[in-house]
Amino acid sequence: MALALAAPTGAFAQMTPQDYLEEMAALYAAQGMNFSYASAEESGDALIVSDIALSMDNEQVQTTISFEEMTIRPTAADGYDLEVEASPDYIGSVTTVTEGEEFAFDFEVTARGLYRVGGPEDSRRMELEYPEVSLSYHIATGAPEDMPPMDVSATLRDLTGNFSYALGAMTQTYDIAAANFGVSMSMEEASGHSVGIELSYDDVTMTGAGPITNMNDSSGMFAADTVSSFELRAATSMLDMTATEDGADTDIRVEGGASSLAMEIGDGVLDYAIAQDAMKVNVSGAALPMPPVEVSIDRLDTRFAMPMLPTDDAKDMALRLNIEGLTVDEALWAMVDTGGAVPRYPANLTLDVTGMGKALVDMTSGDPEAMMAGGMPMEFESVTLNTLLMSFGGAEVTGSGEATINNSGFMPMPVGGIDFRLEGVTTLAGKLVETGLLQQAQVMPLQMMLGMFAKPTGEADTFESRLEMTAEGNILANGVPLQ
């Protein structure tokens, strides 16, 4: 919404209000949007533009935004030519069409503030000042019969930012900040079941750079030679959720420290990562058959990267899940391990895989049947297990390895190997038997697996194993054929 308020600007010095109005229409068109208005009248040195509408249409989604008036006037602010102030109330709608079924919702935006625009032709600058921006929406048509009524609102406070545009190169950068971003949502069914959610982020920043692209052309966005980068950060976060069923509440509170979302799009690849530090989850309520439970995580981060468009050369791929310092409060431990047999060390999980591969179809089409019509939509060339780490209750499993993929046969075949190390696994299994969480008979398959696939290192309760996949299709465990 902030990007819509601060439209891309012109490419010549000392812009007049009429110059800027014409340039807005041209640049909205470059981004796949239609910009129209009923009238534009001069009032002194200002231009009053009335009955303004923005729209964007493609096969699946149609979006419209309208507002009554926009005033473009000269400014004395250093480094800027004009300032733009619009009427605060915006009305919009979004309509999606899936397999002939239409689903639409309306939304309202209130934005009080203005922005300034100026700078040289090859680098227009914009400065944004909006003390508060709020949004609310409701479903208009096409909602499923079992979908309960929903109220959603969002608010940005103390929104400020800077934009720059180079129209010759059709590139853009932006740096936006807000003191707080909050979302409120509530749902209530006829049966009386209800859910209420309050979400808040403090000290929010958003930065990005990349080409100005047509947002209606998803494949074109991914195909751009210049990669678009985007990063969203917050200093702290809070989520409160209350679910009520049969008169009993379940309350969930999630507190978080620094969090981020980073994304890159271009050169045929989508690459994004999410991170959250110092997460604490508290679950309580009369609906739970247990006392309040608290779970803490020092850090949670993920990454996913894959090619989205067919290319001649292989592109980067990645999959990462990292959970550090997972702990559960003693109240829950006492329910399953009253004697304290299992050590209360923080649990950790890391899976970090990278590789090279190709998309064989356009993954941006949004049509699952078309993606799978010719068989596998992806072709993998190589895979590397950079890190596998699982630790819990004093036991730890680690692994690493790599393989190339032979795609010449009927089925893709990996050729390479993975090395594993297991420490304290049998000791932990014994402690779980002691608590009653496992039966002794359930431990026997683990002992058999260690005997088949692993070998002792000579250290106490420590095993190593190497699994290999050969070019001939054989699988070896520590050099011994398994098939």
User: What is the 3-state secondary structure of 44-68?
Assistant: CCEEEEEEEEEEEECCCEEEEEEEE
What's the confidence (pLDDT) of residue 141? Answer: 63
Exposure string over 410-419, b if 16+ CB within 10 A, otherwise e: eeebbbbbbe
Q: What is the pTM of this model?
A: 0.86
Least confident segment among 94-103, 244-253, 474-483: 94-103
Assign 337 a pLDDT band (cuts: 50, 70, 90).
confident
Distance CA 161, CA 230 (A): 15
Which alpha helices (DSSP H) does 319-423 contain, by range?
Answer: 330-336, 368-372
Instruction: Tell me the range of 182-196, 226-240, 279-293 where mean pLDDT is highest.
Output: 226-240
Average pLDDT score over residue span 202-217: 90
Least confident segment among 50-64, 100-114, 369-383, 401-415: 369-383
What's the confidence (pLDDT) of residue 403? Answer: 96
Least confident segment among 69-83, 86-100, 294-308: 86-100
Average pLDDT score over residue span 219-247: 88
Q: Does residue 107 surpass a pLDDT of 80?
A: yes
Q: Does residue 91 surpass a pLDDT of 60?
A: yes
Name the token pair of 310. Answer: 């067919």
Tens-digit pLDDT profile for residues 4-61: 444 443 334 588 999 889 888 878 888 888 999 999 999 999 999 999 999 988 777 8
What's the confidence (pLDDT) of residue 459? Answer: 94
Distance CA 206, CA 2 (A): 11
Name the token pair of 231. Answer: 């990063």
Token pair 């403090």 is found at 202
Least confident segment among 87-91, 101-105, 387-391: 101-105
In angstroms, how far is the first alpha carbon of the chain from the final one? 59
CB 463 within 8 A of CB 454: yes
Distance CA 72, CA 81 (A): 10
Q: Does residue 77 surpass a pLDDT of 70?
A: yes
Token pair 């796949």 is found at 32
What's the confidence (pLDDT) of residue 343? Answer: 92
Instruction: Tell me the range of 98-102, 319-323, 366-370 where mean pLDDT is highest.
Output: 319-323
Which alpha helices (DSSP H) does 6-121 contain, by range?
Answer: 17-30
CB 288 within 8 A of CB 276: no
Please give the single-letter amino acid code of residue 469. Answer: M
What's the confidence (pLDDT) of residue 365? Answer: 73
Least confident segment among 73-77, 229-233, 338-342, 427-431: 338-342
What is the percent of the chain where pLDDT is above 90? 56
What's the confidence (pLDDT) of residue 377? Answer: 84
SS3 389: strand
**Positions of E strands within 189-291:** 194-211, 228-234, 236-245, 248-256, 259-266, 269-284
Tens-digit pLDDT profile for residues 287-299: 777 788 899 999 9
CA-nearest of 380, 475, 459 to 427 is 459
Assign 188 a pLDDT band (cuts: 50, 70, 90).
confident
Name the token pair of 130. Answer: 């909006």
